[in-house]
Structure formats: C-alpha cells, structure tokens
Amino acid sequence: MRTAFIEALVEAAEVDERIWLLTGDLGYSVLERFAQKFPKRFLNVGVAEQNLIGVASGLAMSGRIVYAYSIANFPVMRCLEQIRNDVCYHNLNVKIVAVGGGFAYGPAGYTHHALEDLAVMRSLPGMTVIAPGDPVEARQATKAVAEWPGPCYLRLGKAGEPIVHLTPPHFRIGKGLVARDGSDVTLISTGGMLKNTLEAAELLSAQKISARVLSMHTLKPLDVQAVSDAARSTRLLCAIEEHGEIGGLSDAIARCLAEQSLKCAFLAFNISVEAGSMIGSQSYLLDRAGLSAEGISQRIVEILKR
C-alpha cells in the first residue's frame, strides 16, 4: 500500500501544486520519488510528531493541502492535542497518513501496534477516516482525500499487501464497495482485512453458506445505506477489523443498527486487549486474534448453527 500511496500522491501533485508531503524522519525507500520530484514541497521535520502536525497546520492555513506521513500509531498518539486543536478545530486540509495499521509492525511489539487509532480519529470533530482494503483502493483513496475538504485520516498497510480488485472499482469516500455478492451473511471489512475476509467467504461457500463481502474503506462517514441493506437482506452481519474492540468499525455499525432499529444478528471480529499485547509476525498475531480466514469462517459457522 505504501508504494500505491506514493505513486498516487506524485500523480496528484503533478496537477495540483498545493499538495505538500511532510514526514517525521520516516519513509525511506518510499518517499524519495516525491522528494526528488518536488523538493520544494517536501519537508522532513525530524522525530517530532507534534511539530509535524504544527507545521502541516501552518502550511494548510496558507492554502496548501498537506499529507503528514508517519508509522502506525506515532502520527496519532504522540500528537493528538495538535490534531484536535490545530487541524480539526480550524478544519484544515491536513491529511494524516499512518502506515502500518493494526499488526503490520507486529514484531516491534505493542508500542508499534495501531489498535486504537480508528477509535481516536473517529471521535475527532470534522475528521474523515479512511482505511483502504488493498493497493488499488489505497491509490484511489490518496487522490480522493486531496479533493475532500477538511481533515482526513488515511490508514494504510505496510508493504506487500495483495491486490484484491482486479479492475479499479468506483471509489467514493463514504460509499462501501461490494467485493463479492451473497445472500446468507454479510461480511463488512475495513483496511487490510479485505483479503482474509474474501478468503473466509470462499471457505463459507464450500459449506453452502453464501457470503456477501463489503469493503468499508470509509469508517467516517459510514455508508449507512449499505449497512441497512445488508441488515435487511442477510441473516447475519459481521464487522471484521484489525483494530481493538472499542470505537472502530464494529461500534460504528452497531450504532447504525441501533439508531435505525434494524433487527439483525451481529458479530464483531476485532482484537482483544490480551491479543493486542502479543509480539510476532502480522499473520501470527491475526491468527491468534481469530482474524485468519479460517478463524473468521469457523466462528460464523458456529454462530449460524445456533
């Protein structure tokens, strides 16, 4: 996803000279192509995330569209006050880019896990929250947030994520994408869980369970219509996210169901506090958290039997 992001950002910057890129001394071997092509619109502010957001805010107040790039939780947790007071309070065109969502930096341990970021960003006034499901969505999201007014949070994977969409879908902020149709259950995925979710749907199909898959790349604003349609047309609704249990996709969907008085069986797949404190590869940690394709499908089969 990092490669898709920087390629799309370079393309966007070629046609819009307002676009700037800032980094907190990270992104080596990724950001060079932007820095070399637009040296006057690239800044490395050093390992100082609060300063990163402060400089981005100043540039945005001068009419720029600023992408602030850092690893996982650093551009969120270390500078939350600056994001809240400088970016959101003034409704600035600052696009916060977090690379390595969820367990992407699993071997580095909990300090590098991004498991609360979606909850934190969703809670901020005026903040749009986007977590693309594959490199194709990441490319489209990068360009879309440049045209979207106000603060945005763009949560990316790390590297090596597979391409899921063989042809570019019609990407729109706030509108989910149907990655697979089905009539028994609806699996709503966000971020890098799209591949595992589609594989889980295949496993369910082998057991005669028809699973629809929605890529909910935008958590805020949520595609309420897509959730409502799924709740009315399938037996079970599942939220699948590489995030903690509170404040992410599952909570957004649950609120949607409650506010619209939609009666639908609902199941949340996310990461418990215990699972979040483990160390290991991303695939290992996802498996331990029950977020592998096998883990997802097995739990759904068990629920449907009840």
Residues 9-38: tens digit of each pLDDT: 999 999 999 999 999 998 888 999 999 999
> Mean per-residue pLDDT for 143-162?
93
85 DSSP assignment:
I
For residue 302, is pLDDT > 80?
A: yes
Tell me the Cα Rg of the chain.
Answer: 19
115-136 pLDDT, tens digit each: 999 999 999 999 999 999 999 9
> Mean per-residue pLDDT for 105-118?
93
- Integer Cα distance of 305 and 192 in angstroms: 28
For residue 224, is pLDDT > 90?
A: yes
pLDDT-based confidence at 54, cuts 50/70/90?
Answer: very high
192 DSSP assignment:
G
130: tokens are 């986007």
- Give the range among 87-96, 241-250, 258-267 with minimum mean pLDDT: 258-267
What does the pLDDT read at residue 103?
95
CB proximity list for 261: less than 8 A, separation 6 or greater:
none
Domain with CATH 3.40.50.920 in the chain: 177-305
What does the pLDDT read at residue 161?
85
Classify strands 65-71 and 94-99 as parallel, antiparallel or unpaired: parallel
147: tokens are 């045209």
CATH classification number, 177-305, choose in 3.40.50.920, 3.40.50.2300, 3.30.70.360, 3.30.870.10: 3.40.50.920
| Most distant CA atoms of the chain, gap in Å | 61
- Integer Cα distance of 209 and 205 in angstroms: 5
- Integer Cα distance of 12 and 289 in angstroms: 37
Question: What pTM, to 2 d.p., does this model score?
Answer: 0.96
27: tokens are 């992104």
What does the pLDDT read at residue 73?
87
For residue 160, is pLDDT > 90?
A: no
pLDDT-based confidence at 159, cuts 50/70/90?
Answer: confident
> Mean per-residue pLDDT for 280-305?
96
Domain with CATH 3.40.50.970 in the chain: 2-156
Percent of the chain at pLDDT exceeding 70: 100
168 phi, psi to nearest 5 deg: -60, 125
CB proximity list for 33: less than 8 A, separation 6 or greater:
6, 7, 10
What does the pLDDT read at residue 33?
95
- Integer Cα distance of 211 and 213 in angstroms: 6
Comparing CA positions, the residue from 74, 84, 162, 80 lying closest to residue 113 is 74
Looking at domain 2-156, does it have CATH number 3.40.50.720? Answer: no
pLDDT-based confidence at 85, cuts 50/70/90?
Answer: very high
